[in-house]
Amino acid sequence: MPVPLTPRERAHLKARAHPLEPIVHVGHHGVTDTVVAEIDRALTAHELIKIRIGGTDRDAREAMGDDVCARTDAVAVQRVGKVLVLWRPRPEATPAAG
C-alpha cells in the first residue's frame, strides 16, 4: 500500500524532481512486465524518478500511470503532460542474520 503524502511532502518531492530527466519510457506496447521491472529497479535505486508515458490519449496515459503505481507500490507525486513523477520510500535495511 503506497504511503499517503501530505501537501508539504508532495511539494518537497516536486522540488527534488524538477531537475530530473525521465529515466523510463512507456512506449506503444504499454505497461509490460519488463517496463514494470525496470521502474521497480529505478525506484529501489533512486527512490524518486520521472517516467514518460507515450501516446496521445490523456485518459489512456492516466490509466497507465495508475497501473504503474499499483504494480510498483509507488505514489504519483505529479503528472505534467506525458511525464509522471513517482516516489517510493527505500526499503528499510534489514539487520544481518547471525
CA angle 22, 78, 42 (to 5 degrees): 40
- Specify the fold of 7-87: Translation Initiation Factor IF3 (3.30.110)
Q: What is the pTM of this model?
A: 0.88
Query: 16-25, pLDDT tens digit by residue?
Result: 999 999 999 9
Query: 45-68, pLDDT tens digit by residue?
Result: 999 999 999 988 999 999 999 999
Candidate from 21-25, 41-45, 89-93 with smallest mean pLDDT: 89-93
Q: Between the CA atoms of 32, 11, 3 and 22, what dihedral angle is there, to the nearest 10 degrees?
A: 20
